[in-house]
Amino acid sequence: MRKPLIAGNWKMNLLYSKVPEYLQTLSREINAKSHLKRDQVDVLLAVPAPFLGIAREYGEKNGILIASQTVHEKADGAFTGELSIPMLKDLGIRWTLIGHSERRQYYNETDAAVALKTKACLDHGINAIVCVGETRAEREGNQTETVLKRQLEAVLQQTGKADNFVIAYEPVWAIGTGLTASDEQAQAAHAFIRTVLRQKLGGAADGMRILYGGSVKSSNIKGLMQQPDVDGALVGGASLDPVEFARIVDCQ
């Protein structure tokens, strides 16, 4: 059985001074759902770098995992503005997103760079949530599977293990647009992703979590979570409100 993982990605939003209140509200809202067993779902927030320390402190108290939104593959050096895995570990952070489409689009993160970052995370025992997904033009050109395979194989060439490794399928056309992939589109992409993972990782791929991301809200999460290969969500805009995010956590 794969334990669901509901992850929020704050992107470049919210403020340091609001972090304690947000985490306390989220925890209170989740706890108020008495049917929801805290140990049956992992809840995670990927926060801006300056918030990592305080978010970890309040996350730990409230049973919420905290992640970085990106990381550099080198342990240290002259890389102005970057953040290393030893720095994350020193802060008590054990999770990071890698290769979000906004990093690929605005900061030229290539498949090769995503692969190196993932390898560095897995080598250091940090959990990597690797984002993949096609653009609208690629979907309309029937290139979805070709793109997913290329993005995944780049990573799988560098990493031969399934531990500490989560995939987030985020169709670029569904991010921040209000357009969600239908339950069937999400399932088809997730099943394809698992097939590609299985080719390289064998049966271990069946234990890997594949998250869906792209305009997830409390109104559409249930249908997505009913799909056999959808093991959780990566939520952008709707994660900025702790009350709405708690409703999404309550997704079973």
Residue of the chain from 181, 235, 249, 251 that contacts ligand 13P (CB under 6 A): 235
**Which residues within the stretch 195-214 sit at the binding site for ligand 13P (CB under 6 A)?**
213-214
List strand residue ranges (DSSP E) for 53-186, in order.
65-68, 95-98, 127-132, 165-169
Amino acid making up residue 7:
A
CA pair distance 84, 252, nearest whole angstrom:
35
In the bound state with ligand 13P, the residue whose beta carbon lies nearer, of 159 and 180, is 180
In the set 100, 109, 134, 190, the catalytic residue is 100
Chain position whose Cβ is nearest to ligand 13P: 236
Whichever of 43 and 201 has its CB closer to ligand 13P, that residue is 43
Taking the least distance from each CB to ligand 13P, the nearer of 152 and 201 is 152
Q: What three-state secondary structure class fits 67?
A: strand
Q: Judged by CB under 6 A, does residue 175 bind ligand 13P? A: yes
CB nearer to ligand 13P: pick between 167 and 201 = 167
Residues 2-21 binding ligand 13P (CB under 6 A) are: 9
Q: How far is the CA of 224 from the CAs of 1, 170, 182, 188, 235, in angstroms? A: 17, 13, 8, 11, 13
- CB of 217 within 8 A of CB of 244? yes
* Among candidate residues 222, 250, 221, the one with its CA nearest the CA of residue 235: 221
Q: Is 170 marked active-site? A: yes
CB of 102 to ligand 13P, least distance (A): 7
Specify whether 100 is catalytic. yes
Q: Which of 97, 43, 41, 38 is nearest to 67 (CA)?
A: 97
Site pattern 99..118 for ligand 13P (x: CB under 6 A): -x------------------
Positions marked catalytic: 100, 170
